[in-house]
Copies of this chain bind each other. A is one copy, B any other.
Amino acid sequence: MPTGHRRKTTRPRDATGLQVYSARMPVDVDAVVISNTQLSDFYNVVALAAPDVARQARPGQFVMVKPDQGYDPLLRRPFSVFEILRDQDGEVTGLSLLNKRIGVTTRRLYDVAPGERVQCLGPLGQAFDAPAADQQAWMVAGGVGLAPFLTLAESLVEHSLTTRLFYGGRSADDLFYLETFESLGVTLELTTDDGTRGHHGLVTGPLQRALEATSPTTSVRLYSCGPTPMMRAVTELAAAHGRSTDVSLEQVMGCGLGGCYSCVVPVTESGQPTRFVRSCLQGPVFDGGRVDWNQL
């Protein structure tokens, strides 16, 4: 059984000797890997038995993960919460990560075997703001940027909002979980760099057409996650149509808790000089219009 290290030794303990904690406090779990599903040569989904983390997580939040003991690699890595896992009775049993292999830790997670353990701290950071009741919600994902949108889609659909997913990948093999989104009632707009599925080209293509086709009186809220140039383009495109965009930024993070100041994002308020704010505390979700993209 994964053991959740709870915060604060001074907190009261319940009869079982476990500490009682209030909701929405990050916990650190030595989580057992339930399964590892390799989706392609680069992508996989790792399911972790971390119910205490999963129960608290809201769409857009992240966890800090360390699959290996030892000091090389040393630091944890940030990952979006991809799915909340439940058993037949609907009880939360854990969460999954959508992992893209690009370096040491993501390679390790790509190869992780069921039964192994992954240290998992969370949930952390700010969630996406929910749209207003009368707003449409458009999600714009590039590659592994899909990760935060499955839980977001679920919560949007719960509130029965009109939701669309603009989703771009390298090729047809690089687009995942399409049926899952469709079964939630999400309208898909797919693009691939090589044209093997959906529109040929960048995800901003269909997005632009959709923005142009939508009446300015229809209220739309945009959410974007993917490569930085994509998020910038989405933000600028949306702004040109009078829409604002939540972006989920992928800054390098040393601690995830506000301790190291490594993860800063340059943010501008109207007229104010740029300030560096910590993405792990004030993000990873930012109003794209406030990000000083030239400094990022």
Contacts and interface: CB of A to CB of B under 8 A. Distances in A.
Interface stretch (A48-56, A70-78, A237-245, A268-276): A70-78
Contacts of A104: 70
A85 interface: no
Contacts of A113: 113
For this complex, into which size category does the number of interface residues on chain A fall? under 10
A145 B68 CA distance: 31
Interface string A84-119: 000000000000000000001000000001000000
A72 B104 CA distance: 13
A87 B272 CA distance: 76
A14 to B, nearest CB: 32
Contacts of A72: 70-72
A70 B107 CA distance: 12
Interface in A209-236: none
A72 B72 CA distance: 5
Interface in A99-143: 104, 113
A103 to B, nearest CB: 12
Interface of A: 68, 70-73, 104, 113
| Those 6 A-B pairs whose CB atoms lie nearest each other, nearest first | A72-B72, A71-B72, A70-B72, A70-B70, A113-B113, A70-B73
8 contacts: A68-B70, A70-B70, A70-B72, A70-B73, A70-B104, A71-B72, A72-B72, A113-B113
Given A70-B70, A70-B72, A72-B72, 5 more contacts: A68-B70, A70-B73, A70-B104, A71-B72, A113-B113
